[in-house]
Every structure is written in structure tokens, then in C-alpha cells.
Chains A and B, each alone.
Chain A
Amino acid sequence: MSKELLSENTSRRIYREEDRILKVFSGDFPKEEVFHEAFINARIEAVLGEMVPKVLSLNLRDGSWTLEKEYAKGRTLQELMEEEPSRKQEYLEKMLELQLQIQSHQVPVLEQLKDKMQRQINELGDIDDGTRYELLTRLAGMPRHEKLCHGDLRPSNIILDEAGAYHVIDWVHATKGNASADIARTYLILALDDKSMAEYYLELFCKQTGTKPSYVQDWLPVVAAAQLTKKRPEEMEELRSWLQICDHM
């Protein structure tokens, strides 16, 4: 059987083996997180059906946990957008459609987005107490909703298969929370790459759902703070500048 290594980092390697994906975690990767990922995926499969590649098994092989999932064969929206820049907007519209469809569901067992963000802001090492206080205050004032949020929805996490069906992958950040917070998160991801794409996406969301842009924008400082916990050097400076806000008084 041939195994193709798709990606690799210090905590896991991802292989493709025929129509399956094997996610092999490093030996010291916490067991609870492995099981958590499998559990979340299973819960979301149950709610969203075909859109989500299924978990097939979870095994301990040679001291490493291996998560076996369906392989969604096709091309990511990211790839498609790069190939056909003229159709970017069309793909973004499709992405929003999928995001709104996902948000129309509820998965009660998931972690509450606000709680997760609060934890992340408290974990941030390199911000001053005043900024942390402002961010947590801002977060405390935001609405607490129960919608299914992917938590990392981006063009590279959406796959269009040959049959024309879309699949959404990478559910490890899924939470229940406010739809605008999830949109803000996608906005941030898009903006780090291309601000105009992010603006277009936000405008589209606000138009389709009758949401005030400020309702989404109010989440941006806290979403940026949460993203900072990923410590990606190329994003740090930009994200830090997003935090310097003043809650009106």
C-alpha cells in the first residue's frame, strides 16, 4: 500500500492512503486532544452529513495515535481561486453560503466560543495588562450565541470534488458561538492575505444577513488576540496593531 505524505509539522504528519487520510500524531501529543478531535468530527458529521469527511478509526500504532478519515478528493477553493483569479468573488460567495449553512446548526457539546477566546486572551504572554483588560471587557460585552462555528473557515479548508460537491475539512477549532465572531475570524484570515477580499466577504455577509458591519468589526480585536496565540511571526505585527483599541467611554 502506498502512503503519500501530504504535510508535516512537529506534532503530526498527514498521509494520504488511497481514499483515506491518515493523521499520525507525534508520540508525545496529548491523548485527550486526539480523542477530542475525533469526537468533534464525529459530532459534526452527524449534523452536517456529506459535507464533512468522516472519521473512520482511531488507533495506537507504534506508540503514535493515528486518526483515519475519509479523503475528500478534489481541489481546494484556495487552489481554484489561484488558478482563476477572475472567479475569486464567485468562490467567496460559495464559501459564505457554506459558512451560513454551517452556522444554521447547533452542536451543544462543543466548547463555547467566548469561553475559548477568554482562555486564549488570558494565555497571551506578550500583551500588557491594560490591553488584556480592554480585550476581555470587550469580549464580555459581546453576545453569547449557540451557533455552530467552524472556527477556521478559509478557502484552503473547502474542497470541491469532481462531482461538484463541497467538503469542509479541519474541524478541530469548531465551537458554538456567535456567527459574527466566526465571520470576523474568516475576515481576519482573508485580510492577512488580501484586505480587499476580506472587505468583500464582510460586505457580502452583512448584505445577506442584514447585519451591521460594526457588529462583526467589534469582534475583530478579540479575534486578532486569539489568532496571536498561534504565534505566527509573519502575522504578529499586523495583529498587534489590531488590539490597540479603546472601548468607548
Chain B
Amino acid sequence: MAAETARPVDSMEALSEKIARMRKAQARFALYSQEQVDRIFRAAALAANEARIPLAKMAVRETGMGVVEDKVIKNNYAAEYIYHQYKDEKTCGVIQEDRAFGYKVVAEPLGLIAAVIPTTNPTSTAIFKALIALKTRNAILISPHPRAKECTIEAARIVLEAAVKAGAPEEIIGWIDSPTLEMTNELMRESDCILATGGPGMVHAAYSSGKPALGVGAGNTPAIIDDTADIRMAVSSIIHSKTFDNGMICASEQSVTVLDPVYQAVRDEFEKRGCYFLKEDEMDKLRKTMMINGSLNAKIVGQPASAIAELAGFQVPKATRVLIGEVSSVEPSEAFAHEKLSPVLAMYRAENFDEAIAKAERLVADGGYGHTASLYVDLKEQEKLARFSEAMKTCRILINTPSSQGGIGDLYNFRLTPSLTLGCGSWGGNSVSDNVGIRNLLNYKKVAERRENMLWFRTPGKIYFKQGCMPVALEELRSYYNKKRCFVVTDSFLFENGFTRPIEEKLSEMGIQYTLFSDVQPDPTLANARAGVKVMESFKPDSIIAFGGGSAMDAAKIMWLLYEHPEAEFSEMSLRYIDIRKKIYTFPKMGEKCYFIAIPTSSGTGSEMTPFAVITDESTGVKYPITDYELMPDMAIVDTDNMMTQPRGLTAASGIDAMTHALEAYASMMASDYTDALAIKAMQEIFRYLPRAYEDGSDREARDHMANASALAGMAFANAFLGVCHSMAHKLGAYHHIPHGVANALLINYVLQFNANEKPPKMGTFPQYEYPHTLERYAEAARACGVKGEDDRKVLEAFLEKLTELKHAVGIKDSIRDYGIREEDFLATLDEMTEHAFDDQCTGANPRYPLMQEIREMYLMAYYGKPYHEMSEE
């Protein structure tokens, strides 16, 4: 093993063997615990820090660039700041857990990291990348630059030895001993992820390798000194940054743009602090030296100012800190406008802040996209700060901060992550815009357990019932709510026949002023509702009484809505949703102006208990179903006295409607214990009392039970919602004017059989709906209604018969055709009805997710009165 480890990676073959051995080491490392990893991470960081001075000396000696003392800081930073940042961060196994939500995050290593290390920061970058790889249980294979290979390898070796000593697998860190681009490319292709620090060429090569790359690119950091800036701090910060390691940090300032009013003062300060302003001829000499055919001359990189001057053929004092060229062009043709990786700085004058920003934008566009920009300004000038940060297409925007030290994070701002690999975002052609860290070297697995959503049970705040309760309940309007002006909504039939008189008398008796709107039409329209609102606007009621069947209650709810919120947008409000809690539209708060009382006069719609209303836009014919718990009546008064005169047809149709409410709420995917109890009770009552109420309208006991059954079913479907029977009935009613209750009656038997299929092509999506269990559910309901049978299937068959008997008992016919709908009319609308029924809001709660073809087929069966057959079994 030791002999193999020592074998240098100096050929493609040796490289591929090295990769294979490192992959094995990583596979072992991947099993290490957090404690083991943290021990290794600490030991490695300590060793790297220990070696900061020898490594710095080695780097300067080998590359001939930079400043030993500054490289010492970089090495120290790479060890200490990275350790400090991540020492307590979990990187192994389960790192986050939320038991209540059944959610875990598991961290896993990526595998083998290919690390490309530049010449400018060889040892510190090697330390940084090796440490974050260790903390994340990755193997890291380093490809040094040939000009810095000795020191890069030495840094990696020191970290490796300490890590292995602390228990890490041998060869968890590796390197290419004799780097060539061919080997670098091969390494990148064979790795799991690339950490490429380098110029555009290297970054491009990394991204072309086909492996995920965290490549980072060049900067061309512009600094602006605003006329509100602290000049001494600004100038010294820039000098401090620009001279750091002789200007080799990629975040370092390349230019400074100074606002005109402080230009001279800034210039004087630069001179006072040891910078040298170049004369015209010196600038020309330097331009020729700095750039070779538009590319940066490698010979000036990381050299002190005086050496650069000498190279260009002129002398400056030995102690000169920065060479400054006062230039005006920000175009690439100006050599000073480029990144210089040396203590050479361009200085621009700007008439105003906008001009300074424009210059900075141009400079960033030339080779600095995504990297760093800096501004010196009085922090009171937040508006300037905002304009600057908006304009800069850079991922780091540093304020009053030396950018070399500021960009790498945690030195001048303690929220900016410490890193020696700075992402430049999509602007810089990078996959990351952050300062790269351990999060980029982990795969996070999210373990999500199945959870059921919170359900609810909501009803009107007050429900009053029992024959004769209405005047008693209305008493509260005065005694409890202190209401003074009441708006009564009803239809002309009820009004003209004097059924509203008890309400009017009670209101008068209490001294409550009222206005009566009796123009509600069947299937109320927006125009109809607006006519009511117009009256309300002049009358200014503080309470509303909706008195009637479904139409009057729907119309009153819409008037209530339009009166409180005239801006209401019906198309948005009625948009189909999957989960009522996640609707795109936020319903406005109701009840600010009016208290809403619903008093039904028929036993069927259950509208007094529901937050639903349907309104038709007469100009387009579009029906808007509005659903939101804000529309729930505040009070429901179920008084049988109001129901005694229902005609037979209405008694039958609305009674069967209530039955389908109960049946669909019971089968709904959102059914709960709360709604089940109500639905079962409603079914039992309807089976028992509907035929009696139908036969003898004056049967007070039957009427009483039917009134309650309708309200119970209303509460059930106000919370569990309905299903595809209602979806289809809505459209049958709309297209062929079959009364709603009758339409439901004609379809319900088919829908029960449809839903009872135990192998449906598609089931509904809802976490509490675990498997297609609707047959079982119907059988339960049936047994509760006294149906018997040897198994669920037989029970269902008997239940269907019982339903058919009930329908016959109340005069419902057997097919849609029997209601006089002509075959050609029906067939002509069939496809459109089918699509609209599929898209009806009620479809969403149905336990079997219907295909359009299946809906179409059910329509046809119901039209001809044929026995049910299952399409999916054909």
C-alpha cells in the first residue's frame, strides 16, 4: 500500500489507477460518523495552519509571485476561518429532522472531487478545498498548475498526513505530480464534481467535461468613491486590498472611479499614502508592457509596483505601493481597463453618481461579469447604495470594504461565507453565485413520510332549528347584535304569497328598518345580484336575511359579497382549485358591513349551511361557482313553518338533491368522522321521511325531519365536498334545463357503481385516500340505512334498488330521455357537457378520478336509462 501511494501520478495510466484507489478510499470514508469526520477536519485544519509560513515561502519561491507575509495570512485564513465556519455543521447522515411533518434531510458525499488549483493562490486554495472535502467525506484529487505544483502538492500532503493520522483513509486526498492539461481534463471527466478555480479557459474546460462543475471565473472589480465617502478610509482600503499579495486576488479592485467633487482630495490621499500617479509617457510604456496583444502579460502578475515600472522601462520609488493611471476610457481598448492581477490601478473621474455607475457597469461587462463590485459611500445614502446594487451584475457587492479581503468573506462582513472559491453565477457562466462551501459538496436527500393534511369542520356560527324558531332566533338581531337596518332577499313567489310577512312583522316589531328585494330569479345572474346591491347601496343595511331556496340564498350571498367588496373579480374567485387552502385567489374578508342570516324554505339545497354560491354572468353565459368559507352564513334558521307549502315536485327534487349531497359527501376523499355522522343520519332520515313528505305535504313530522336532514347533508358537503354526480348534474341542468335535484337523481345510481369499482383506471389524489375503498364505504352507508346482503357488492346492489324505489316513490322518471330531451339535442351537446363536467369543481373530491370518456359514457347510460356497464372492463 505504502509503495503504491508513493507512486507518482505522472501519466494517464497512473492517474486512472490513482482514481480507482481514491474511489475505494472514499467508499470507506463515506461510512465515517460525524464525530470521526469532525476529528479529522480539526486535525487537518490545525496542520495546515501550522504550516502556513513554510507553505507561503514555498509558494513565493516557486511561482515568483506575491508576498510571503500575505500568503501566510491566506493560508492561515483557509485553515482557521474554514474550520471555524463549519466545525459545528452537520455533514454526515441525518442532519435535519422534523418529526411532526415526517421530513428528514440526509447528507451524503458526492464522491471524488476534481480540484483545479491556480498559480495565484496555490497553497491557500489547496488547503481550502482539501478541508471542505474532508468535512463532507469526499475524496479530492488535486490538479496543480505546473508553475505551482511543488507548493500545491506540499499543502495537500500536509493536510492528507494530518487527516490520515486522525483516522482518515489513506489516499483520501491525492494530486497529479506532473500535471498536463490532458491529465487535468481526464481527471475532470472521471470525477463526480469539479471545483475549478482559474481563468475562463479552465472554467470552460471544466464545464465541457460533462461533470457538474463549480467553476469560477475572472473578476474586474470596479470601485466607486462617492463624494459622501470617508476618503481616508476609502483610499487606504483600496491600497490595502490592491497591494495584498501584490494584487493577485481575483476580487481585487482594478479601477477606482471618483466623483468629481472629491477627485483631487482622493488623488492627494493616494499620493500621501505612497501611490504613484503615472505620467503620460509612463502610462504608454506600461500599457505596452501590461498587455500582449490584448492578453495580460504573465510577467507583471503578482509583482511589486517598482518591479513592474522597471519592466516597463521607467523608475518609481522602491516603496511605491500602487501604480495609478488616470485614464478616461472604460473600453477594452484601454489596457488599464482590464484585470491586471498586480498593484496597477486605473483611476476615472465621474461628473456624477450615474456616470460612475455607467463606468462600473461597462468595466464589469469586460471580463468581470458575476464577480465583485465595490462602493465607498456614506451609509446614509441608502438610495445610492440601492442604485449601485441594482446596476451591478456581480454576485458580491461590497460597501466600504477592501474587496480582496472583503470578497472572501467573514473578514469585513460576518454573514458573507468564508471561501477561496467565489461563484460568479450565470453571468460568469457558473452554476453557483455563492461563495463556494461545504453545501456545494453534499447531496442532500430528503426523506419525506406520507402525511395526511389537516382537515376541518366549519359551520355557520349559529344554527337554530325546531318548528317556530324563526321569530325567536331573529330576536337576536336586536337584542344581541343591535342591528338597525336589514336587507331581506327573496323571490317573487314567496313574497307575493305572503311568506315573508312573519319576517317583516318581526323586524317591525323590533324597530329594525328593512328593505325587501323580491326579484331573485331562478339561476340568479350577476345583473340580478347587482340590482340588489344597488338597493343596498342606498339603503345601507347592517344585516341581510336570505329567505328562500337555493337561488335566493345564492343571490343573497353574492349581493353580500358585492356590497362588501365591489372590486370582487368573479373569474379569479371561481377558478378551479385542488385544495381550497391553496387557491391562488385570496378571498376578501366578509362580515365587515353585514351580518348574514340564511333561512331556507325548501329542504334540499342545504345552502344555509354551506359557503357556496353559483352566479351566472348573463352577458357571457358563464356560471361562476364561488367557494370560500368567508361566504358561510353567520346564522342559519331551520324552521319547518317556512317549508310546509313546498309543492310536491320541489319536495321530490330537493329531497333527492339532499340524498346525493349525503351520498357524495360520504364517498368524498375528504370525508371525515365529522361529516360521515351527518351524512349517514341525513340518508336515514331521507329514506324514511321523504316519501311521507311527498305523499302528504302537511305531514309536519316528515317535513321537520326533512328540514333537518337537508341541513345535516349541507354541513356534510360544506366540509367534505361533493363528487362527479354533481359535476354532471350541474352541466345537465345548464344545457338541458333539468331541475338540479332531478338531474342528480338521474345520475346518482350510475355514479355509485362507477365509484364502487375496486380497480379504477385512476384514483383520486389525496393523502388520506389510501386505496379505492368506495365499495366498502357505500356498503357501510347502506347497512346503516338497513340494507342487508352477504357481501359488500350485494349490499350495494340492494342499496341501489332502495334508491331506485325512493326515486320512484317520489315520481322521478328513469332516464334523461323520459324528461323530453330530444336525442339529437342531447348528443349534440354531449362532448361539451362532458368536458365541462370533468372540469367542474365538484370533480376534485370524487374518489375515482374520472376520465372524460367515462363521464361521457355515464351520460349516455343515463340518457337511455341503460344498466351501468364499466368501460374499463371492456
Evaluate whether A247 and B293 lie within 8 angstroms (CB atoms) in the complex, with A133-B145, A213-B333 already known.
no
| B293 and A246 contacting across the interface, CB-CB below 8 Å | no
Q: Is B296 an interface residue (CB 8 A)?
A: yes
Evaluate whether A242 and B147 lie within 8 angstroms (CB atoms) in the complex, with A138-B201, A141-B201, A248-B339 already known.
no
Q: Is B120 an interface residue (CB 8 A)?
A: yes
| B367 and A248 contacting across the interface, CB-CB below 8 Å | yes
Question: Across the interface, which residues of A come within 8 angstroms of B178, CB to CB?
Answer: 129
Task: Report which of A128, A132, A141, A213 forms a contact with B205, defined as CB distance below 8 A.
Answer: A141
Q: Is B118 an interface residue (CB 8 A)?
A: yes
| B200 and A220 contacting across the interface, CB-CB below 8 Å | no
| B201 and A217 contacting across the interface, CB-CB below 8 Å | no
| B181 and A218 contacting across the interface, CB-CB below 8 Å | no
Q: Is B198 an interface residue (CB 8 A)?
A: yes
Question: Across the interface, which residues of A come within 8 angstroms of B204, CB to CB?
Answer: 140-141
Give the docked Cα–Cα distance between A136 and B183 (Å).
12
Give the docked Cα–Cα distance between A142 and B301 (Å).
23
Distance from B337 Cβ to chain A, minimum over Cβ atoms (Å): 11
Evaluate whether A221 and B120 lie within 8 angstroms (CB atoms) in the complex, with A248-B218, A248-B341 already known.
no
Distance from A191 Cβ to chain B, minimum over Cβ atoms (Å): 9
| A245 and B203 contacting across the interface, CB-CB below 8 Å | no
Evaluate whether A249 and B292 lie within 8 angstroms (CB atoms) in the complex, with A136-B181, A140-B204, A140-B205 already known.
no
Evaluate whether A217 and B295 lie within 8 angstroms (CB atoms) in the complex, with A247-B198, A247-B200 already known.
yes
Question: Across the interface, which residues of B come within 8 angstroms of A139, CB to CB?
Answer: 201
| B181 and A249 contacting across the interface, CB-CB below 8 Å | no
Q: Is B195 an interface residue (CB 8 A)?
A: no
Which residues 130-162 of A have a CB within 8 angstroms of B? Answer: 130, 132-134, 136-142
Question: Across the interface, which residues of A come within 8 angstroms of B295, CB to CB?
Answer: 217-218, 220-221, 245-246
Question: Across the interface, which residues of A come within 8 angstroms of B119, CB to CB?
Answer: 130, 249
Q: Is B250 an interface residue (CB 8 A)?
A: yes
Q: Is B419 an interface residue (CB 8 A)?
A: no
Question: Across the interface, which residues of B come within 8 angstroms of A242, CB to CB?
Answer: 292-293
Task: Report which of A141, A245, A247, A249 forms a contact with B297, defined as CB distance below 8 A.
Answer: A245
Distance from A112 Cβ to chain B, minimum over Cβ atoms (Å): 14
Distance from B151 Cβ to chain A, minimum over Cβ atoms (Å): 13
Q: Is B179 an interface residue (CB 8 A)?
A: yes
| B294 and A218 contacting across the interface, CB-CB below 8 Å | yes
Q: Is A43 an interface residue (CB 8 A)?
A: no
Question: Across the interface, which residues of A come within 8 angstroms of B198, CB to CB?
Answer: 137, 247, 249
Q: Is A214 an interface residue (CB 8 A)?
A: yes
Q: Is A57 an interface residue (CB 8 A)?
A: no
Task: Report which of B181, B203, B292, B301 forms a contact with A241, defined as CB distance below 8 A.
Answer: B292
| B293 and A249 contacting across the interface, CB-CB below 8 Å | no
Which residues 201-249 of A have a CB within 8 angstroms of B? Answer: 212-214, 217-218, 220-221, 241-242, 244-249
Q: Annotate B116-158 by CB proximity to A: 1 below 8 A, 0 otherwise.
A: 0011100000000000000000000000011100000000000
Question: Across the interface, which residues of A come within 8 angstroms of B181, CB to CB?
Answer: 132-133, 136-137, 140
| A244 and B201 contacting across the interface, CB-CB below 8 Å | no
| B147 and A212 contacting across the interface, CB-CB below 8 Å | no
Distance from B527 Cβ to chain A, minimum over Cβ atoms (Å): 61
Distance from B421 Cβ to chain A, minimum over Cβ atoms (Å): 11
Q: Is B199 an interface residue (CB 8 A)?
A: yes
Which residues 180-206 of B have a CB within 8 angstroms of A? Answer: 180-181, 185, 197-205
Q: How many A-B residue pairs have CB under 8 A?
A: 105
Q: Is B808 an interface residue (CB 8 A)?
A: no
Give the docked Cα–Cα distance between A42 and B448 (Å).
66
Question: Across the interface, which residues of A come within 8 angstroms of B201, CB to CB?
Answer: 137-142, 247
Evaluate whether A245 and B146 lie within 8 angstroms (CB atoms) in the complex, with A133-B180, A137-B198, A138-B201 already known.
no
Question: Across the interface, which residues of B come within 8 angstroms of A247, CB to CB?
Answer: 198-202
Evaluate whether A129 and B293 lie within 8 angstroms (CB atoms) in the complex, with A214-B332, A249-B197 already known.
no
Evaluate whether A129 and B208 lie within 8 angstroms (CB atoms) in the complex, with A134-B298, A212-B332, A213-B333 already known.
no
| B202 and A244 contacting across the interface, CB-CB below 8 Å | no
Evaluate whether A244 and B292 lie within 8 angstroms (CB atoms) in the complex, with A133-B179, A137-B205, A140-B204 already known.
yes
Chain A count of residues within 8 A CB distance of the other chain = 28
Distance from B62 Cβ to chain A, minimum over Cβ atoms (Å): 10
Question: Across the interface, which residues of B come within 8 angstroms of A220, CB to CB?
Answer: 292-295
Question: Across the interface, which residues of A come within 8 angstroms of B202, CB to CB?
Answer: 137, 140-141, 247
Q: Is B299 an interface residue (CB 8 A)?
A: yes
| A246 and B145 contacting across the interface, CB-CB below 8 Å | no
| A130 and B147 contacting across the interface, CB-CB below 8 Å | yes
Distance from A216 Cβ to chain B, minimum over Cβ atoms (Å): 8
Question: Across the interface, which residues of B come within 8 angstroms of A140, CB to CB?
Answer: 181, 185, 201-202, 204-205, 208
| A245 and B296 contacting across the interface, CB-CB below 8 Å | yes
Question: Across the interface, which residues of B come within 8 angstroms of A221, CB to CB?
Answer: 292-293, 295
| A129 and B199 contacting across the interface, CB-CB below 8 Å | no
| B294 and A246 contacting across the interface, CB-CB below 8 Å | no
Give the docked Cα–Cα distance between A242 and B301 (Å).
16
Distance from A120 Cβ to chain B, minimum over Cβ atoms (Å): 14
Give the docked Cα–Cα distance between A19 and B294 (Å).
45
Chain B count of residues within 8 A CB distance of the other chain = 37
Give the docked Cα–Cα distance between A129 and B292 (Å).
20
Question: Across the interface, which residues of A come within 8 angstroms of B147, CB to CB?
Answer: 129-130, 133
Question: Across the interface, which residues of B come within 8 angstroms of A214, CB to CB?
Answer: 294, 332
Q: B63's closest neighbor in chain A, by CB?
A: A130
Question: Across the interface, which residues of B come within 8 angstroms of A244, CB to CB?
Answer: 292, 297-299
Distance from A192 Cβ to chain B, minimum over Cβ atoms (Å): 13
Give the docked Cα–Cα distance between A141 and B199 (Å).
9
| A246 and B179 contacting across the interface, CB-CB below 8 Å | no
Most buried by A among B180, B199, B204: B199
Give the docked Cα–Cα distance between A189 and B846 (Å).
78
Q: A219's closest neighbor in chain B, by CB?
A: B293
Most buried by A among B200, B297, B299: B200
| B199 and A249 contacting across the interface, CB-CB below 8 Å | yes
Give the docked Cα–Cα distance between A132 and B145 (Å).
11
Q: B220's closest neighbor in chain A, by CB?
A: A248
Give the docked Cα–Cα distance between A214 and B181 (Å).
24
Give the docked Cα–Cα distance between A226 and B122 (Å).
29
Give the docked Cα–Cα distance between A195 and B81 (Å).
51
Give the docked Cα–Cα distance between A23 and B448 (Å).
76
Distance from B560 Cβ to chain A, minimum over Cβ atoms (Å): 64
| B205 and A217 contacting across the interface, CB-CB below 8 Å | no
Q: A140's closest neighbor in chain B, by CB?
A: B205
Evaluate whether A141 and B296 lie within 8 angstroms (CB atoms) in the complex, with A133-B181, A212-B332, A249-B250 already known.
no
Give the docked Cα–Cα distance between A138 and B294 (Å).
13
Q: A134's closest neighbor in chain B, by CB?
A: B298
Task: Report which of B146, B203, B292, B367 forms a contact with A130, defined as CB distance below 8 A.
Answer: B146
Give the docked Cα–Cα distance between A242 and B332 (Å).
19
Question: Across the interface, which residues of B come within 8 angstroms of A142, CB to CB?
Answer: 201
Question: Across the interface, which residues of B come within 8 angstroms of A132, CB to CB?
Answer: 146, 180-181
Most buried by B among A134, A220, A249: A249
Give the docked Cα–Cα distance between A244 and B299 (Å).
7
Distance from A130 Cβ to chain B, minimum over Cβ atoms (Å): 4
Give the docked Cα–Cα distance between A92 and B333 (Å).
23
Question: Across the interface, which residues of B come within 8 angstroms of A248, CB to CB?
Answer: 199-200, 218, 250, 296, 339, 341, 367
| A249 and B341 contacting across the interface, CB-CB below 8 Å | yes
Question: Across the interface, which residues of B come within 8 angstroms of A212, CB to CB?
Answer: 332
Q: A129's closest neighbor in chain B, by CB?
A: B146
Give the docked Cα–Cα distance between A31 and B785 (Å).
100
List 18 A–B pairs whose Cβ atoms lie within 8 Å, in order of A's numbering: A129-B180, A130-B145, A133-B179, A137-B181, A137-B199, A139-B201, A140-B181, A140-B201, A218-B294, A241-B292, A242-B293, A245-B292, A246-B297, A246-B301, A246-B341, A247-B200, A248-B250, A249-B199
Other CB < 8 Å A-B pairs besides A137-B201, A142-B201, 12 of them? A130-B145, A133-B180, A136-B181, A137-B199, A137-B202, A214-B294, A214-B332, A244-B292, A245-B298, A247-B201, A248-B341, A249-B197
Interface residues of A (CB under 8 A from B): 128-130, 132-134, 136-142, 212-214, 217-218, 220-221, 241-242, 244-249
Q: 9 shortest A-B CB distances, which residue pairs?
A: A247-B199, A141-B201, A217-B294, A130-B147, A141-B204, A129-B146, A248-B218, A245-B295, A136-B181
